[in-house]
Structure 1
């Protein structure tokens, strides 16, 4: 905003001819130019350091994250195989380290109850108004034992409901416990209802008709009633549990998908093999381990090169940064870190045992001969190093990444970032103070120079008057 004094000077139309408003601005700017330029230069340097430290920290954290994802995705876990894949398929959780062998014998598969109603003329026939109740439990012969832990299912049936719309209501209202559809065959249209797998998931149908005189005929809801005691051929399959043995231990499961097994195994049972047990075993994928070690070494060398550029003693943005120095030391110690501190005698303990070697220039290389020897001599112990547990390759590098990111440690990259950001904040506060001081000086100089301009104008007017008087006096003589 233009100082009002400048317009006053212009209005006077006199004075020294000097633009005192601009002079005041230039003088105030020059008075603080050195401090302002110095602080701005410091901020530029600090911003460069922040960018370099953040890039280094991000590179280390990204490698830790990628390594964890690689392990969790399961391509490094021992692979499960089964002697007779027609009996079952086997899977294990990503990042687990299963071992050993298991004998599996399946004597019975889990199945669901299947009920086929009496016939209707078509899927569009009305079923009758009322309430259709399902109770769940075990069907054995002519008896039904309710499972009180399962809530009964009540379905309101409208007068306009057909066999087809009732099937849709059963599906939507059961929350997955029941499936229903209309089958149209040579005997007419029939409602097919299937329950969930497992012996306790059988069911009975108990309709309540809204008719004044219910009749068990098509068009009245009671026509759909069913219980094992009244079965007239509607029951086509009884629900049952899967029966199997693992290492001769008898077990049962309400589903053919079996969980809660040793090593986190999941079995998907497909067929029975009574009297002919099949073997489940696990093999380590040495090729996947070699692949991840090659990728790990390449990623480490990318970090080493970046560190060499940014933390060079001469000209490096982080040449004297304590966080960068600490990262260098951590990387140099990496090959000797005890990845598996509880390893047995002769088992791999360090990353060096996995072939990670340090060159004289600080870069890494993979000693494939040593890695192959470790894989050959201790395949299970080697596989155990590639899990997401408290020990292992991932845990070791993740610990390194977290330590270098910790903002509470002034000797880490995180601590350096916090320190540089705090310095920029302090410099910004000083720049704001300088701006205020500069503006105050400009206003003060403007006021003083305006007064000086006014005094000069008065002096010039007085001088002009005196010159006129002298000239008049001289002419009178």
Structure 2
């Protein structure tokens, strides 16, 4: 920044010849240069630590997340073997390892009530003004017992309603519990109403017509009324529960999808097998466990390599970071940590039992021979280590991740990131104050030096005048 007055003075050959504005800038900059450089260098180091700690934290989180996905997707769960696969599909609950075998006999599948109305000439035919009331319950021959736990449907029918519009009203009013549509078959247009699976989801239709003399013919709403006592072939399928026995214990379900069974089993019933029970047994997919261990080994070594690079004592951004040291200790004791405290004698209880071991250089290796021995001797116990329960491989890595990334723990990686960020913020505030102090000093120096320049310029003018007078005096003599 150049002072205009100083430039004018210099242009006319006056002044000291010194650029006082530039001098003020240089003096103020030099005064605070060391403090500013020191803080900027410190912030660069802190930013590097933040980056390194964040990299380690993210790598650890990604390892835990990827392992959790592998465990939760069911590929490591015991495989269900059904002797007669036409009867049932079996799934298991993540975190539960079924054992042994089961006998299943299905005598009846769950079904829904299917009601077909008497025919109309067209779906555009008017059905008649009035109201429909549909009540839900259980049929037993010609009798009907209402299920008071289900609200009845009351549907207002306008004089302009057709078979088509009434079907839409029924579906909408039931919110999915009933499916209604018009079928245009060889016998004409018929209203088809299908309920939900389960014996208590049967239904009757009560119609109230506004006609002075209801005729129960097309165009009068009572034509659509239905009761089991007056059925004339409209009922094509009755609502029913699924009935089956599991190890001879009788069960009933209002759906063919059955959950909440022993040992976390779920059934999708597909067919009946009366008098011919089928067997359900389980086997562990040892190859899937081996695949997961190999993938886990690669990811674990990637994490260990990153930790070694970022936290090396000489030159590493996190060489003196306590969280990095704690993570190194956690990884060092990972193979020997008890991850299955309830394991029985001879059953695997550590990751070393799954073949995981560490080298002298701090890397991980997989002892496939030991892994195969464990899978052969204790296949079920080994499979139990690959669940989402409170113990096992995933629980161990998840706990390690949470311990090393919890923001509230100052000794974790997240705690280090927060601490370094706070230091960067404090240093940035100091830099702002230094910039303000430097600007104040520059302005003060500029004022003082420009004032000095003016005084020097005035002195030079006086000296020049005196010199001229002296020369004039000397000339006259």
Q: Shared fold (TM-score greater than 0.5)? A: yes
- Matched with 1:468 is 468
Q: Please give the residue correspondences for 1:382-393 in structure 2 after superposition, counting only pairs within 5 Å.
A: 382-393=382-393
SS, match of residue 15 in structure 1: coil
Q: Measure, in 1, the Cα distance between the counterparts of 2:183 and 2:468.
A: 127
Residues 404-441 of structure 1: CA distance to partner in whole angstroms, max 9, x if unpaired?
22344444323322332222122112111111111111
Distance 1:311 1:470, change over 3 A: same
1:51 aligns with 2:51: yes
Instruction: Using the TM superposition, name which of 77-86 and 92-101 deviates more.
Output: 92-101
| Distance across 2 between alignment mates of 1:122 and 1:152 | 28
* Residues 154-181 of structure 1: CA deviation (Å, up to 9, x unaligned): 2222222221222222222211111122
Aligned 8 A contact 1:180 1:192 in 2: yes
Q: Matches of 1:328 and 1:112 in 2, distance apart?
A: 61
Question: SS at the partner of 1:429?
Answer: helix
Mapped partners of 1:318, 1:99: distance in 2: 48
For 1:138, the equivalent position in structure 2 comes to 138
Distance of 1:347 and 1:289 partners within structure 2: 16
Cα deviation, 1:309-359, whole Å, max 9, x if unaligned, reads 222232222223222222221111111010101211111010000000111
1:7 to 4, 7, 10: 4
Q: Say which SS state the counterpart of residue 338 (structure 1) adopts.
A: coil
1:293 and 1:233 map into 2 onto residues whose CA distance is 62
Matched position secondary structure for 2:398: helix
CA distance in 1, matches of 2:410, 2:127: 78
**Given the alignment of the two structures, is residue 230 of structure 1 paired with residue 230 of structure 2, yes or no?**
yes
Q: Distance in 1 between matches of 2:26 and 2:209?
A: 99
Match of 1:239 in 2: 239
Aligned to 2:173: 173
In structure 1, C-alpha distance between the alignment counterparts of 2:254 and 2:364, rounded to whole Å: 53
Aligned counterparts of 1:472 and 1:446: Cα–Cα separation in 2: 39
TM-score normalized with structure 1 length? 0.95
**How do 1:200-239 residues align onto structure 2 when only pairs under 5 Å count?**
200-239=200-239
> Counterpart of 1:41?
41
Q: 1:182 matched to which residue of 2?
A: 182
SS of residue paired to 1:154 = strand
The separation in 1 between residues aligned to 2:266 and 2:199, in whole angstroms, is: 20
| Partner residue, 1:403 | 403
Q: What is the TM-score normalised by the length of structure 2?
A: 0.95
Q: Which runs of 5+ in 2 are unaligned?
A: none
Alpha-carbon distance between aligned partners in 1 of 2:236 and 2:373, rounded to the nearest angstrom: 60
> Residue in 2 aligned with 1:259?
259
SS at match of 1:190: strand
| C-alpha separation in 2, matches of 1:449 and 1:330 | 64
Stretch deviating more after TM superposition (365-374 or 161-170)? 161-170
Aligned Cα RMSD in Å? Answer: 1.7
| Aligned positions of 1:2-401 closer than 5 A | 6-12=3-9, 14-401=14-401
Q: Distance in 2 between matches of 1:94 and 1:181?
A: 40
Quick check: 1:76–1:95 contact (8 Å CA) kept in 2? Answer: no
Change (3 A) 1:409 1:198: closer
> Aligned partners of 1:360 and 1:303: how far apart in 2?
16
Please, which moves more after superposition, 238-247 or 343-352?
238-247
What is the Cα deviation at residue 473 of structure 1? 2.5
Are 2:94 and 2:388, in contact at CA under 8 Å, matched by a contact in 1?
no
Q: Secondary structure at the match of 2:334?
A: helix
Q: After the TM superposition, which of the residue ranges 309-318 and 384-393 deviates more from structure 2?
A: 309-318
Q: Is the 2:95–2:384 Cα contact (8 Å) retained in structure 1?
A: no
- Between the aligned partners of 2:49 and 2:383, the Cα distance in structure 1 is 40
* Alignment match, 1:450: 450
Q: For 1:420 and 1:84, how far apart are their aligned partners in 2?
A: 63
- Alpha-carbon distance in structure 2 between the residues aligned to 1:191 and 1:374: 63
C-alpha distance in structure 1 between counterparts of 2:102 and 2:401, whole Å: 39
Provide the rounded CA distance (Å) in 2 between the counterparts of 1:169 and 1:202: 19
Q: Is the 8 A contact 1:91 1:267 kept in 2?
A: yes
The separation in 2 between residues aligned to 1:339 and 1:180, in whole angstroms, is 55
Tell me if structure 1 keeps the 8 A contact 2:68–2:388. yes
Q: CA deviation at 1:182?
A: 2.0
Task: Answer with 304-313 or 364-373: which moved more.
Answer: 304-313
CA positional deviation for 1:8: 3.5
SS in 2 for 1:360: coil
Quote how far apart the aligned CAs of 1:147 are: 0.9
Q: What whole-Å deviation, never above 9, does each CA across 1:83-127 have from its counterpart, x for those lacking one?
A: 111111111223432222111111122111111111211222111
CA contact (8 A) 1:106 1:274 kept: yes
Q: Distance in 2 between matches of 1:95 and 1:260?
A: 14
Q: Which residue of 2 aligns with 1:414?
A: 414
C-alpha change, 1:407 and 1:229, in structure 2 (3 Å) is closer
Query: 1:233 and 1:410 mapped to 2: Cα distance?
Result: 76
